[in-house]
Amino acid sequence: MKRIFVFFVSVFFLMLSILFQDISFAEMSVNFKDVKVVAFIIDPNTGNIVKANNAASLFYGYSVDELQRMRIQEINMLSPKDVEREYQLARDESRSYFIFPHRLASGEVRTVEVYSSPFLTSSGSSLLLSIIHDVQDKAVIEDELLIYQSRLKELVGIQTEKIIQGHKRERWIVISGMLVFFGLLFVVSRKHQQAIFFQKKFEIEQQCKDILERFEFLVQHAHDIILLIDEEGRIAEANIEAARAYGYSRDELLTMTIRELRDNDDSKISDSIQSDSSLKSGYMYFGVHIRKDGDKFPIESSVSVIHINEKPHFQHIIRDISERKRMEEERQKIIELLHKANDDKDKLFSIIAHDSRSPLCAIQSLTQIVGTEQDSFTEEELARVMKELHRSIKNLLALLDDLLQWARLSQGGLDCSLKPCVLSIMVQECIEVAKHACEKKNIHLVSDIPSKLMVLADESMINTVIRNLLFNAIKFSHRGGTVSVSASAEGDAATVVVRDNGIGIEQQALPRIFVIDNSKRQCGTEGEKGTGLGLLLCKEFVENHGGRIFVESVPGQGTSVSFTLQLPHGGNSSTEF
């Protein structure tokens, strides 16, 4: 009876080893330890016991670690020649098992049946799976039955002989006795077979129940959504993660169809039955599903067909990829920012090379002339050369100053420290700086700033903004033109406007006015050149203050640049002196 049970367990275990042969040997060992029958995994080349389960430890009396340090030859009492003879005897008798004497840790020798099957690990090495069944008690009982049967036959023979010799009874009595004997023997054998059958059936049912319970636990506690869909598109089963992800209870999900969970129908998915060939190896698709609260989320789903009661069902293993999508979008944004930063770097290098070359060449030429022809210059000519030299150095320093501020701003090296400031005082300081440039072109500079208007500002940054805008307005104004600075407060912000009546800006150039672009820079009305970084710095500084900057221009009529600053104390823009 136990031999048949062990045979089926070994077959079941071998099937599991084949099904999971793609899984690592370590993962397979986790289930192997808990198998209820005595089992070894043996290296056929060396005889080393690679793995032993807990049942083997209990049977042989060694710990699992001790068994895994032994060779099978230390347990098997047969010599190599006797082992080969047993292999031949098993082949002759068409047996799927071998009978060996095995020695336990206590020294006791037990007769066992060994069922062996080779298999390959994921690394490609060959091992031997051996299942051992103790038949010592069975062998003793069989020997006793043989002795009992032999004695019974002797008694029957003696009794028959006595009947023939002593009483000369009829032969039919002997035949009847034999029939009764064999009839009883048949009944006993039949009952024994029935007992074996029912015990085997119970054990198989118990194993199937255990497997189903483990499978159900794995499905229900999986981190992915698992749905089982019938051929009509109805949800036949859903795990715990499905209920959590969609916001429905399991009972609610079982009354719905897969179509109700989709944002739109995917042409690749059909709620009707599909041919086995199209789903033989399964497929994966991407889509959008809807939660109970209406929230949509992207998914990837692996679909395969399974048959239950000879009816096809579709198993959907669904994963919420919202986080993956978010990471991809962030990655794309970072790539775009890196591309932009790289483009800005190339343009910046171009500006540096272009704008620094002219003043450096002028400085080189002027210093060379002064050094070689100093005696031939009059004081007036020498003063003019030094003035030109000063202008070239000033332009170069302006370029370097703008580059330094831009670099510090890009690297977060400039701190924006906001505090209440009187705007009229800041503007007047910038006008004083720009007066010399206005006088050179005879430009009228007008300020219309309320004397008590206060703003929240980093004084250094906003001075740079106003100064840049004033010099830009002067640069693009004609001789005798007008440049004005005005401001007004509305709500919780003040708007500062720098306006000129100069040459203006073409409409197609306005979108790129705050972008580093050496090829699009425009010279002033008298050929004045700039670095191209001034307006970019203005935009960055104003946005650091939480404000906005915008430009309006009409070609031939002039340009106005406006920017906003916050007012202190929730919109209170005045102060008393």
What pLDDT is stored for residue 276 in this prediction? 45
Averaged pLDDT for residues 538-550: 88
pLDDT tops 50 at residue 14: no
- The Cα 491–Cα 62 span in angstroms is 88
What pLDDT is stored for residue 407 in this prediction? 64
Of 38-52, 107-121, 302-316, 409-423, where does mean pLDDT reach its minimum? Answer: 409-423
Structure token digits, residue 174? 């002997």
With bands split at pLDDT 50, 70 and 90, how would you rate the model's confidence at 203? confident
pLDDT tops 80 at residue 274: no
What pLDDT is stored for residue 389 in this prediction? 73
Burial class (CB in 10 A: 0-12, 13-18, 19+), 476: buried
Could you give phi then psi for residue 307, rounded to 5 degrees? -110, 125
- The Cα 27–Cα 418 span in angstroms is 62
**Percent of the chain, pLDDT > 70?**
73
| pTM of the complete model | 0.39
Quick check: 72 and 127 in contact, CB under 8 A?
no
Decide which of 30 and 505 is more confident. Answer: 505
- The Cα 340–Cα 515 span in angstroms is 11
pLDDT tens digit string along 140-170? Answer: 777 777 787 777 778 777 777 776 666 666 6
- The Cα 199–Cα 192 span in angstroms is 11
Quick check: 483 and 446 in contact, CB under 8 A?
yes
Structure token digits, residue 477? 């104004």
Contacts of 567 (CB under 8 A, 6+ apart): 454, 455, 456, 489, 492, 493, 494, 573
What pLDDT is stored for residue 522 in this prediction? 67
Sheet with 311-320: list strands edge to edge. 235-238, 225-229, 311-320, 296-308, 283-290
- HEC string of 450-511? CCCCEEEECHHHHHHHHHHHHHHHHHCCCCCCEEEEEEEEECCEEEEEEEECCCCCCHHHHH
Burial code of 113-147, b = ≥16 C-beta within 10 A, e = fewer?
bbbbbebebeeeeebbbbbbbbbeeeeeeeeeeee
- The Cα 284–Cα 304 span in angstroms is 9
What average pLDDT does the structure give for the chain?
Answer: 77
β-bridge mates for residue 316, sequence order: 227, 303
Averaged pLDDT for residues 293-317: 86
With bands split at pLDDT 50, 70 and 90, how would you rate the model's confidence at 549? very high
What pLDDT is stored for residue 561 in this prediction? 92
pLDDT tens digit string along 481-494? Answer: 889 999 999 888 99
What pLDDT is stored for residue 497 in this prediction? 94
DSSP summary character for residue 567: P
Quick check: 162 and 177 in contact, CB under 8 A?
no
CA distances from 212 to 3, 31, 37, 133, 232 (A): 25, 15, 20, 26, 26
- The Cα 135–Cα 141 span in angstroms is 10
The sign of the CA dihedral 332, 334, 337, 338 is: negative
- The Cα 318–Cα 157 span in angstroms is 77
Decide which of 437 and 312 is more confident. Answer: 312
CA distances from 101 to 6, 47, 135, 459 (A): 18, 16, 10, 98
DSSP summary character for residue 262: B
Domains, in order of start, for the chain: 2-134 (3.30.450.20), 221-320 (3.30.450.20), 323-414 (1.10.287.130), 417-577 (3.30.565.10)
What pLDDT is stored for residue 23 in this prediction? 42
Quick check: 25 and 101 in contact, CB under 8 A?
no
pLDDT tops 60 at residue 1: no
Structure token digits, residue 104? 């336990």
pLDDT tops 70 at residue 374: no
CA distances from 343 to 49, 348, 402, 513, 531 (A): 65, 8, 18, 16, 17
Averaged pLDDT for residues 517-538: 66
Quick check: 547 and 554 in contact, CB under 8 A?
no
CA distances from 252 to 218, 235, 309 (A): 22, 10, 24
* Helix, coil or strand: residue 140: helix
pLDDT tens digit string along 287-300? Answer: 899 998 988 889 88
pLDDT tens digit string along 60-86? Answer: 999 989 989 998 888 888 888 887 787
pLDDT tops 60 at residue 9: no
What pLDDT is stored for residue 495 in this prediction? 93
What pLDDT is stored for residue 524 in this prediction? 65
pLDDT tens digit string along 492-507? Answer: 899 999 999 888 888 7
Averaged pLDDT for residues 421-428: 89
With bands split at pLDDT 50, 70 and 90, how would you rate the model's confidence at 265? low
Quick check: 199 and 5 in contact, CB under 8 A?
yes
What pLDDT is stored for residue 350 in this prediction? 54
Decide which of 130 and 379 is more confident. Answer: 130
What pLDDT is stored for residue 15 in this prediction? 46
